[in-house]
Structures are given as C-alpha cells and as structure tokens.
Chains A and B, each alone.
Chain A
C-alpha cells in the first residue's frame, strides 16, 4: 500500500463508522433516533419506520460507497450535508451534536480531494 493512501483510508473508515452506527442503533431504539428528524419531515405522510429506516439505508449506502474509495465525491458531499443538517435541525442538542461539525470535516475533506481527482477524469473523458 502506498503510504500516502493510509490517511485517506483512515478518513474513509472514520466516516463509514459515523454512518453505519446510527442505522444499526435505530433498529433497537427507533424512538431516540427518529426524534432527530426535523418537524417538517415528521409531518410528511410517510410512516415513521419508513422515514427512519429509509434514511438508515441511505446512510449505509453512503458508508459503503465511501469505504470503497471509488468516485466518492458524491457520497462525501452528501455525508457532509447530512451531518450539517443534523446539527442545524437539532440546535437544542448542540452540547452533544457539536461533535458532528468536527465529524463533517472528514467527508468534506474527502469530497474536496475527490472533486479534484474526478474533475480531472471528467476533463479527460470529454
């Protein structure tokens, strides 16, 4: 393994952990995790379980995609946006959720790096 790849792998593993644990934990404690959804989402005519576990499925897809390391700009950007949204819509819990801002720096870093690589690929392919 090229030594320069190790930090990138560590970042991806960290983001994956942050996105694999919530859907797993939500299976056992859906009330706690569903409470993080903003009210305008809860007001949608969609069953809570569908919203919660559907969002969890999205988190799993993002985690696995980032873990793969292949063309990860999209999932990294999504991960950044999702973490930022969790903080914004749960400001009353900022004393705990401030950590999500720090965690969001990881997928943001991956997204910035991936953008540079993938833009070069898009440029070559056009």
Chain B
C-alpha cells in the first residue's frame, strides 16, 4: 500500500512537472523573439505599434491584448481598459510590485514618494501609460485581477 502511494505521488509530480516545464518553455519562446518596432519592420501579430513607436494594449475580459509587446527603451506603453470595471496595471510580482525597480507597492505608491516613477498604476483606472527606461523583460498584471497578465520586452535603443 505504501509503495503504491509512493509510486502514485511520483507519477503525479512528474505529470505536473512536465506540464509546468512545457508551459514555461512555451512562454519563454515567445519572450525570446524580440522584434524591432521601427516603421520599416514587419509588425508581428503580437504587437501594436503607432508611428511614434509607442504601443497600445487593450484590456478586455479575455485579458491583455497583445499579451506581449516589444518596444525600445524610452518608449511608452498605454493600457486601455475596455471592461466594465477598473484596472490596476502594475509590475510583477503580485501584490508587492517590486519587479521593475525593486521598490514595493507600499513604498512607491505612498503619498509623498519622491523616487523614480514606478511601473505601477497605484490605483484603479481606465487608462495608464508608462515609459520604460530599463532594458529587460518586464512582467505585469492587473492588481485587481491578477490572473490577467502580460509582458513588456524592452530592447536597447537602435540607431
């Protein structure tokens, strides 16, 4: 009986582990395909690019669209809420939002905060724009409904 349970537990762990690594690998492949956002480049189906290079992400009941965007450092992303309720866009991880600049939500959303503008809406709203100065891959989510998430890939400025 004990042996059977041990084998069952191992099988479950292997299945869950395999599913997790498959999911992680699939997401990683999406993040490893950076694309330039210049006007001469072909825009992938995963991005929306305006002539200024800034990007708009719409937020519907299905989530953020596009879920992954690629911009250059110094460019902005604007999130537009098209659902019935407010959104609160913020850097991962939930709920501390420390991923982008290391400061927590309680720090950078506090009244009188004088540090760099955080990647955190710091409250519910229907539209939010943030300018990304740091190169990297930045995950974000809706703080009000953290199952909705997306990624902003920031690449170095190309001349």
A window 19-43: CB within 8 A of B: 29, 31-36, 38-39, 42
Given known contacts A92-B141, A94-B20, A29 and B147 CB-to-CB distance under 8 angstroms: no
Given known contacts A29-B95, A95-B93, A96-B93, A42 and B143 CB-to-CB distance under 8 angstroms: no
Are the CB atoms of B93 and A36 closer together than 8 Å?
A: no
B window 35-76: CB within 8 A of A: none
B23 cross-chain contacts in A, Cβ below 8 A:
91
Q: Give min CB distance, B102 to chain A, whole Å.
A: 16
Cβ of B149 < 8 Å from any Cβ of A?
yes
Cβ of B78 < 8 Å from any Cβ of A?
no
A38 cross-chain contacts in B, Cβ below 8 A:
147
Are the CB atoms of B95 and A92 closer together than 8 Å?
A: no
Q: Give min CB distance, A115 to chain B, whole Å.
A: 12
A92 cross-chain contacts in B, Cβ below 8 A:
141, 146-149
Can you name 20 extra interface pairs (CB under 8 A) apart from A31-B143, A92-B149?
A32-B94, A35-B144, A35-B146, A36-B146, A38-B147, A39-B145, A39-B147, A42-B145, A89-B147, A90-B147, A91-B23, A92-B146, A92-B148, A93-B92, A93-B93, A93-B141, A93-B146, A94-B20, A95-B92, A96-B93
How many B residues are at the interface, by size bracket?
Answer: 10 to 19
Q: How far is the CA of A107 from the CA of B154 in the complex (A)?
A: 42
Residue among B95, B142, B143, B144 having the largest count of chain A Cβ atoms under 10 Å: B95
- Chain A residue with minimal CB distance to B124? A31
Are the CB atoms of A31 and B144 closer together than 8 Å?
A: yes
The residue that B94 contacts in the complex, of A35, A42, A91, with Cβ under 8 A, is A35
A96 cross-chain contacts in B, Cβ below 8 A:
93-94
Offer 10 A-B interface pairs, CB within 8 angstroms, sorted by A: A32-B95, A35-B144, A35-B147, A38-B147, A89-B147, A90-B147, A92-B146, A93-B141, A95-B93, A96-B94
The residue that B143 contacts in the complex, of A35, A94, A95, with Cβ under 8 A, is A35
Q: How far is the CA of A93 from the CA of B32 in the complex (A)?
A: 20
Shortest Cβ-Cβ A-B pairs, 5 listed: A32-B95, A92-B149, A35-B146, A96-B93, A93-B94
A29 cross-chain contacts in B, Cβ below 8 A:
95
A94 cross-chain contacts in B, Cβ below 8 A:
20
A93 cross-chain contacts in B, Cβ below 8 A:
92-94, 141, 146
Q: How far is the CA of A91 from the CA of B141 in the complex (A)?
A: 12
Q: Give min CB distance, B7 to chain A, whole Å.
A: 15
Q: Give min CB distance, A48 to chain B, whole Å.
A: 10
